[in-house]
């Protein structure tokens, strides 16, 4: 067997053909910095310009703290980001985090667009009223959001149900709102339904849009209505100056709420059953306030921070989603889901009865 040939040493001629080691490039000197008028953080396009005034229901304070109280669903950290981006003005002057605002100050704010939040599963107590393979109905406690909102890490019904159902909520609702076919305000308690499948989602959304689903609410209102029942048909849209509120406006969207008195507590309060035939934001709250009977505890549409109401046990907007009647999206049969008001609602009823007596006009069932 022939011995392997030894590798030849490179000669002068072969060395010239070998690749040369590249010399390191010299780093370029950085371009001269040119100052601009842009803030240090790059902002995305503003989502909406909001104009408001500091109401007399709030105390003077730092602008970020006051705005976080005024803007429902907007976190203080998101307001601070807007301040850092120079998107907040107080009385026409650009504000920063140190700016203190007073009652009556005019504030304009541009909230930058941000990515929609993605809901995650979180374990929490859930009172299930009805459940099958197509939908789930629960008793939403007061103080809990229906779904995640931009700029806030607050938990919601969606967070809890993603854990309870092991993620089986209709994806058609989108990442932040899977299964959500209707909403309840944060402070409203009672029946809320979410879809588990996309087929059920689209069927239920259609029922709410076409007013097939029937909603019944119980509300404790200020003073006693002169009539025992009625129909409020008053158009609703955003308040012209306080953008976080809704208002009755001639150029608004059609809104209709039927109502009837079920109990009177002297001349000071009443239990009203409301049947909203449309689904405008804050509709029942706005309509009852428009009739002169704001819901007890509703400090957005009523004035309850006065000495007269100091002892009244009304920690929230006393509104409860009592009953929901709809057509089951799979069987086509009527489905009625109801739940009685929570302890705080009943405690106020008892207190009003003891203080002002009670007269019953119709059954609450």
Question: Which residues are tagged catalytic?
Answer: 185
Helices (H), the chain: 12-15, 63-70, 76-84, 157-164, 198-209, 283-290, 343-356
Residues with Cβ within 8 Å of residue 316, at least 6 apart in sequence = 142, 143, 187, 297, 344
**What's the half-sphere exposure (Cβ side, CA atoms, 13 Å) at 354?**
8
**What's the half-sphere exposure (Cβ side, CA atoms, 13 Å) at 300?**
23
Residues with Cβ within 8 Å of residue 197, at least 6 apart in sequence = 133, 134, 170
Q: Is 107 exposed, middle or buried (0-12, 13-18, 19+ CB in 10 A)?
A: buried
Instruction: For residue 350, give the nearest of 277, 269, 235, 295 by alpha carbon.
Output: 269
Contact 107, 101 (CB under 8 A): yes
Total residues found in the chain within this entry: 365
Residue 201 is encoded by which pair of tokens?
């989602």
Residue 224 is encoded by which pair of tokens?
């006693």
Residue 156 is encoded by which pair of tokens?
């919601």
Residues with Cβ within 8 Å of residue 325, at least 6 apart in sequence = 213, 214, 216, 334, 335, 336, 337
Q: How many CB atoms lie within 10 A of CB 55?
A: 15
Alpha-carbon distance of 349 to 352, in angstroms, equals 5
- Helix, strand, or coil here: 259? strand
Alpha-carbon distance of 162 to 323, in angstroms, equals 24
Q: What is the DSSP letter of 46?
A: E
β-bridge mates for residue 215, sequence order: 324
DSSP E strands in 20-105: the ranges are 46-53, 61-62, 88-90, 93-94, 100-101
């Amino acid at each position: 067997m022939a011995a392997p040939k030894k590798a030849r040493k490179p000669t002068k001629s072969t060395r010239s053909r070998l690749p040369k080691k590249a010399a390191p490039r010299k780093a370029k000197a950085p371009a001269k910095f040119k100052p601009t008028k842009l803030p240090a953080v790059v902002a995305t396009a503003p989502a909406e310009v909001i104009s408001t005034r500091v109401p007399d229901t709030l105390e003077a304070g730092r602008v970020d703290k006051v705005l976080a109280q005024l803007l429902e669903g907007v976190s203080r950290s998101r307001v601070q980001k807007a301040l850092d981006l120079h998107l907040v003005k107080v009385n026409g002057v650009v504000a920063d985090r140190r700016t203190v605002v007073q009652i009556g100050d005019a504030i304009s704010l541009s909230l930058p667009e941000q990515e929609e939040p993605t809901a995650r599963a979180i374990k929490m107590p859930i009172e299930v009223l009805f459940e099958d393979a197509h939908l789930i109905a629960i008793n939403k406690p007061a103080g809990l959001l229906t779904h995640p909102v931009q700029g806030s890490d607050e938990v919601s019904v969606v967070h809890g149900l993603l854990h309870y159902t092991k993620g089986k909520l209709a994806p058609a609702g989108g990442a932040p709102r899977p299964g959500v076919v209707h909403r309840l305000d944060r402070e409203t308690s009672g029946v809320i339904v979410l879809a588990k499948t996309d087929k059920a989602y689209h069927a239920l959304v259609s029922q709410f849009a076409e007013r097939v689903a029937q909603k019944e609410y119980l509300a404790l209102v200020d003073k006693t209505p002169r009539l025992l029942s009625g129909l409020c048909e008053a158009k609703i849209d955003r308040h012209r100056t306080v953008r976080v509120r809704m208002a009755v406006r001639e150029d608004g969207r059609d809104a209709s709420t039927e109502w009837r008195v079920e109990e009177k507590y002297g001349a000071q309060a009443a239990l009203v059953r409301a049947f909203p035939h449309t689904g405008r934001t804050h509709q029942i709250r706005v309509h009852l306030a428009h009739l002169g009977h704001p819901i007890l505890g509703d400090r957005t549409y009523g004035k309850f921070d006065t000495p007269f109401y100091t002892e009244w046990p009304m920690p929230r907007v006393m509104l409860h989603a009592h009953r929901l009647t709809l057509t089951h999206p799979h069987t086509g049969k009527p489905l009625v889901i109801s739940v009685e008001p929570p302890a705080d609602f009943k405690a106020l009823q008892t207190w009003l009865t003891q203080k002002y007596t009670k007269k019953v006009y119709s059954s609450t069932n």
